[in-house]
Amino acid sequence: MTLFLYLLAAHALCDYPLQGDFLAKAKNRTMAIPGFPFWQALSAHAMIHAGAVAWLTGSWWLGAAEFVAHWITDDLKCRGKIGLNTDQAIHIICKIVWAVIAVQAR
């Protein structure tokens, strides 16, 4: 349970203050900042999350899974395919899965 709480706290930190206004806007392919590729900003944002997951779980491959899951989920949100609440629910479900896998691997 402790790992799950740390993952949630890291998620809040990475998704809000560490994302900032620039990444929040630049990662959106439908309203990208001219001259700045959306995928670069989205990848940077997903990498911040991936680093937090890898650090907290001690698993580079869980970090890689977080990168992919976060990238796809945020892109779907930015394209209007899912809403903010669904986006956040997916992120939380991922943290549950990562925590269970990490604890079972110990």
Instruction: Please state the separation of Cα 12 from the chain's center in Å.
Output: 10
Q: Which two tokens stand for residue 50?
A: 């991936």
Alpha helices in the chain (DSSP H): 2-15, 20-26, 38-57, 60-78, 84-105
What is the spatial distance between Cα 36 and Cα 22, in angstroms, rounded to a whole number? 11
Residue 20, amino acid: G
The mean per-residue pLDDT over the stretch 73-80 comes to 97
* Tens of pLDDT, residues 8-60: 999 999 999 989 899 999 999 998 889 999 999 999 999 999 999 999 999 99
pLDDT tens track for 27-40? 999 988 899 999 99
What pLDDT is stored for residue 2 in this prediction?
Answer: 93
List the Cα angle 9/61/51 in 5-degree steps: 40
Mean pLDDT of the chain: 95
Confidence band (pLDDT; 50, 70, 90) for 3? very high
Q: Which residue in the block uniquely carries the two structure tokens 């392919």?
A: 29
Structure tokens at 21: 């206004």
- CA atoms of 23 and 17, how far apart (whole Å): 11
